[in-house]
Amino acid sequence: MRFLVAGGSGFLGSHLIARLRDDGHEVTQLVRRASRSPDQVQWQPADGVLDPDVVAAADVVVNVAGSRLFGNVRSQGWRRRMTESRVTTTRVLAEAIAEAERPPAFVAANGSSYYGDHGAAPVTEQSESRGDAFMTQLTKQWQQATEPAQAAGARVCILRSAPVMARGGDTMRILEPMFKLGLGARLGDGSQYFPIVSLRDWIGVAAFAAQHDELSGPINICCPETPTNAEFTRTFARLVRRPAFLFAPSPLLRLAGPAAPELLRSVNLRPEAATAAGYEFHDRDVTSVLASGLA
């Protein structure tokens, strides 16, 4: 199969491209700088510049582009970069797909923040989106940007991913040093569910979705047994052999303003679509995910 990948220079994108090539597929990478090899094509999504012939030649278009996830949620500049790097790139690709005579499939990254706070209730791809937190609203716009491709009849997969626990990724880059210094802390009472996924299962589900024509629509990417924040904190501390006695009270976290919903939401996520389609997870629980990420 012929793949066209945007965001391939990032952490997840580079690993996904390697997996697709290992599987014997032809991969062309969209880059914003001048192309340096025959398998790279330059584009400028902010200006809507994209060669339509490159899109039309693909069997599957994948978008995993996006600026760094962590930043000052109060900063308008950070919010703008987050939105443009995700929503704009997705819309430009979706519109190019819609214009193709034979629209290729579209696999578009997204996030589990889409769901908002659901307490302890299991959350599947059919669950509603709740709340108006910034990341929840951003993921909804991100998904809406795929609509031109859907309207043109393309197969569209929306990867609602939990945080990926792997060295080199944004989440682990922040958490591992904190826990190794004994500064890992439970958030609030720790009862809120915190979905996570290993790198190999993120790659596995993304590649599985790209190659299986029967899969479309939202696809949750998370380990099948979602831990609570307290379980996550306790397990992380145990695996790095450090104590985790600290906790951040909920009233204090609420002083974080716009960031508070991101820290206290509970999403008991289930990867129902991937499991039903036959994907078998390597890392099913918090211990396996974190051990894989720290290995």
- DSSP code string of 138-154: HHHHHHHTTHHHHHTT-
* Structural domains of the chain, ranges and CATH numbers in brackets: 2-165+196-226+268-282 (3.40.50.720)
Nearest residue to 87 via CA among 124, 155, 134, 132: 134
The CA distance from 101 to 17, in Å, is 26
Helix 199-211 × helix 11-22 angle, to 10°? 60
Nearest residue to 97 via CA among 64, 143, 49, 59: 59
Quick check: 18 and 3 in contact, CB under 8 A? no
Residue-by-residue pLDDT tens, the chain, 295 positions: 999 999 999 999 999 999 999 999 999 999 998 888 899 999 999 999 999 999 999 999 999 998 777 666 667 887 888 889 999 999 999 999 999 999 999 999 999 999 999 999 999 999 999 998 889 999 999 999 999 999 999 999 999 999 999 998 988 988 999 899 998 888 888 999 999 999 999 999 999 999 999 999 999 999 999 999 999 999 999 999 998 887 776 654 454 445 556 678 999 999 999 999 999 999 999 999 999 999 9
